[in-house]
Amino acid sequence: MKFEFLGTADTGGIPLHMCSCEVCEKARLEKTTNRSTSAFLELDDGSVILFDAGCDTLMDRFNTTPIRAVFLTHFHADHCLGLIRLRKSAHHIPCYIPDDQEGFGDLLVHKNNIEYRILTPFESIHIEGVEIVAVPLEHSKLTQGFVLFTCKKRVAYLTDCGGMRAESLAYLKKQKLDYLFLDAAYTPSFDSDKHLNWESAQALIEAIAPKKGYLIHASCHTLLGVQKRGVVLTYPYIEQGFCLEV
């Protein structure tokens, strides 16, 4: 199986519109992009499970690929915008969500071929030999991360996280994770309880103690801050297209 990121950036993506910082100019020069954070798991039969759906080109990328399910961390636009088109799919698609009655836009009103299923904290779903467990996270909207258990690896996808309660931390520690992907959207100088910064994220990774840890959900300004300060990160920021065999 393959776990791949469709994007690892924040809402604005990289390059950011009209931004002339070094990070954005380099991306333009190299003709690279980094979209909002989302990922997918490709199963052995070629079908996929999506983790978040912020990219509005999902219908293009997976146009002839069966989508077994979508696991939505929360109903912010950069994580669910792609559902607006995907709901028109000719196939039924289950979408696992936190118990957020507001949702986003008219997604919960005009569902079309998306079937929304509420996941309670630490509830597990089994799909084609893969177990996926919802882990509550603290954010500005009801949010959950996911731990994936395949026959070979244990992977945690924790985006949009300003912190976590003791029960979530204890659960993650207990799993002996192979890979942990964690939100580090901000610089340490930016005070917010909506997202972690690279210092608080790295400290949390140390506490959970996976075999390998990675930072996600960065803006161009955050990455520029790392460069300008000459920061040596224990756990690196990854880019769109990052892929692992799981």
| Cα-based distances in Å from 192 to 95, 111, 162, 197, 205 | 30, 34, 8, 9, 19
Q: Is the pLDDT of residue 91 over 90?
A: yes
Q: How large is the average pLDDT for residues 97-110?
A: 97
AA letter at 246: V
CATH number of 2-245: 3.60.15.10
Domain spans in the chain, listed from the N-terminal domain onward: 2-245
Copy the structure tokens of residue 219: 């803006």
AA letter at 186: Y
What Rg value do the Cα atoms of the chain yield, rounded? Answer: 17
Nearest to 56 by CA among 100, 105, 20: 105
pLDDT band at 99 (very low <50, low <70, confident <90, very high): very high
The proportion of the chain whose per-residue pLDDT surpasses 90, expressed as a percent, equals 98
* β 67-71/212-216 pair status: unpaired
Cβ burial 213-230 (10 Å sphere, 16+ → b, else e): bbbbbbbbbbbbbbeeee
pTM of structure:
0.98
**pLDDT score, position 75:** 98
pLDDT in tens, 182-235: 999 999 999 899 999 999 999 999 999 999 999 999 999 999 999 999 999 999
Task: Compute the CA torsion angle 206, 160, 63, 3 (nearest 10 deg).
Answer: 0
Cβ pair 53, 86 in contact under 8 A:
yes
Nearest to 69 by CA among 93, 45, 46, 52: 93
